[in-house]
């Protein structure tokens, strides 16, 4: 019921394509939990691995994609460096996000939107992933001061 109230969908390619074709907007995070918990907060690295579902949604719906990045997002909450390999191993084997987090730091977060990209229907999912990842990486380079820093993020407020 809670998912229905907040319009949270199962996230299958078919469901996402149908929602987009019905005129709804979607925010898709290809890196998901893996990127949120295990990416290096000082580098803001993109961890999409071989993810192609989001690219199939883009191709199947024929809708534009708007790359986005939220400045200082990895500085608001962190996972400890100790045990990171073990927690990642647990996550990769079970898909359970069993990892301590700390934070709630009041860093200034600004979401930056890139230019909409329209892909031809005959493009491959791999090509879509490369282009979107490249555009998100450009947004990170343009807007995120590296290495990430909690104190600096707080001072930006």
Query: What are the structural domain ranges in the chain?
Result: 7-155
Give the model confidence (pLDDT) of 55-77 as tens digits. Answer: 999 999 999 999 999 999 999 99
The predicted model gives 77-93 an average pLDDT of 92
> Against a cut of 0.85, is the pTM above it?
yes
The secondary structure of 78-101, three-state, reads ECCCCCHHHHHHHHHHHCCCCCCC
């Amino acid at each position: 019921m809670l998912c229905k109230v907040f319009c949270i969908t199962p996230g299958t390619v078919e469901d996402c394509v149908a929602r987009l074709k019905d005129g709804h907007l979607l925010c898709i995070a290809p890196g998901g939990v893996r990127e949120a918990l295990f990416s290096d907060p000082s580098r803001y690295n993109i961890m999409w691995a071989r993810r192609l579902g989001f690219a199939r949604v883009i191709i199947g719906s024929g809708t534009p994609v708007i790359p986005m990045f939220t400045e200082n997002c990895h500085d608001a909450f962190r996972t400890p460096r100790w045990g990171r390999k073990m927690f990642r191993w647990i996550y990769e084997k079970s898909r359970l996000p069993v990892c301590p987090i700390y934070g709630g730091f009041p860093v200034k977060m600004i979401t930056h939107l890139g230019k909409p990209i329209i892909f031809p229907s005959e493009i491959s999912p791999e090509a879509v992933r490369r282009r979107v990842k490249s555009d998100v990486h450009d947004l990170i380079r343009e807007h995120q001061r590296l290495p990430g820093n909690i104190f600096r993020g707080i001072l930006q407020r």
